[in-house]
A and B are shown apart, each in its own frame.
Chain A
Amino acid sequence: MEYNLRLDSFEGPLDLLVHLIEKNQLDISEISLRKVTQQYLDYLNRMEEMDLEIASEFLMLAAELVQLKTKTLLPGAKKKRGGPLPEPDLVKRLFFYRRVKRVTELLKDLEEKRMGVYERNSDHLIYFLSRYEDQEKQRENPLEGIQLKQVVAAFNRAQIDAKARKKRDKSREKKWQELEGESYTIAEKMEEILDFCQRCPRGFPFGKVINNLENPQEKVVSFLALLELIKSKRIKIDKGTSVNKLIIKGGKV
């Protein structure tokens, strides 16, 4: 009899045997077992041809089937007992297994029905609970025992810290950024400073020359230019209102 079997569709040797019996439209009995023994062995051979490892359970059942077949071929087996032989163990196992298969299908149906039905996900609950906990927390006074001036002081410190950090970050940035060549000359800077002097006849603070410059190289060059101008007396330095404020004025030579 022709049959095509997919190997993975069997849960085990009993599954295969039940399949063969049903395929041949037989009832589960010793006689049916004898009838399908050859097909069972053929299947095992196929597995071998396909280089599939045959599980020991399949082989054990093959042995059982062959034994069953030979037993009935032996003369005198029936006579000794007088009356029909009891059904072999295997028949009972097959009956039971077939029933298990049936309820397995029932469970599968139940599962299938339940698959399309959705319940609330526990994520919802976690969300609601966390919101509730947040509210609980809000009910506590987070500023208990702290005075306003302490808060203000903390705020100011934070601002100072932030500024310092900003500065730090800025200087750090510079280290990475500036890789330009010598684009500043002292002569150039001297011209710039003299320009400044003309525009501000009453003078301008010393810092103004340098403070707004970002490139350290430019700062140095500007400072050197300033020194050069002082040396050549083209500008003069006045002490301003406070010690650390020097005023630069264009000098008359």
Chain B
Amino acid sequence: MSSPANLKGAVEALVFLASEPVNIEEIAQVLEADQREISQAIEELKQEYNEDNRRGIQLDELAGGYLFSTRLEFGEYIRRLHKPKLKQRITQASLETLAIIAYRQPITRAEIEDIRGVKAEKALFTLVKKDLIKEVGRLEKTGTPILYGTTDAFLKHFGLSDIEHLPDPDGLRGEGGPDLHKESPGEEEMREGGS
């Protein structure tokens, strides 16, 4: 098989049937085409679908891949006709833990517990089970504690194309943190105190 004459149509078909985001590399490989060509096709499709508000479906960029979904405004009717499996919301306790991980990853359980002021074991267990977080490594410290980070399923759940797209008006990502156990809290404390 060689690459199809109607490349854009082929890309559309591949993404159409997917239930998990498909990425450009995968598509390019299957269609034996150049990744740039695929990107181009995706961009055109995105324009066609997302900029035409008469459409019922949209092309989302999720977790580094592409996936079709129905538009938010039609959710009500979809629920009426299809009675889709209810999407499960994350509980408040888990959500707080998840937020800490999302914004502060990679992070250990002890650090999470310091921030929340309560134990996080149960929430971590739930989140791992739901595939929203995963072990991303070990901290080279006594006891080599597990470092947690978010997964692609996390991005999909929140409709994000990648972790960089997390809304962060407060600049919580990539910042020093509360440094709870810092011995000389000079600079850090002044910044926190002044905010």
Contacts and interface: CB of A to CB of B under 8 A. Distances in A.
Chain B binds chain A: yes
In order of increasing CB-CB distance, the 10 nearest A-B pairs are: A116-B75, A12-B118, A122-B19, A96-B178, A14-B117, A114-B159, A104-B99, A110-B158, A119-B69, A12-B117
Contacts of A12: 116-118
B72 interface: yes
B117 A118 contact: no
B100 A120 contact: no
B20 interface: yes
Contacts of A11: 92-93, 96, 116, 118
Contacts of B159: 110, 113-114, 117
Interface in B19-42: 19-20
Contacts of B100: 100
A102 interface: yes
Q: Which of A12, A15, A97, A117 has its CB near the most chain B CB atoms (within 10 A)?
A: A117
Interface residues of B, number: 57
Interface of A: 11-15, 55, 57, 61, 86-87, 89, 91-93, 95-97, 99-104, 106-108, 110-111, 113-122, 124-125, 128
B180 interface: yes
Given A93-B178, A100-B96, A100-B100, 6 more contacts: A11-B116, A14-B117, A100-B99, A103-B170, A104-B96, A116-B72
B118 A92 contact: no
A86 B158 contact: no
Nearest to A89: B180
Interface stretch (B2-10, B47-55, B83-91, B135-143): B83-91
B11 interface: no
B155 to A, nearest CB: 10
A124 B19 contact: yes
Contacts of A14: 116-118
B84 A103 contact: no
Nearest to A30: B193
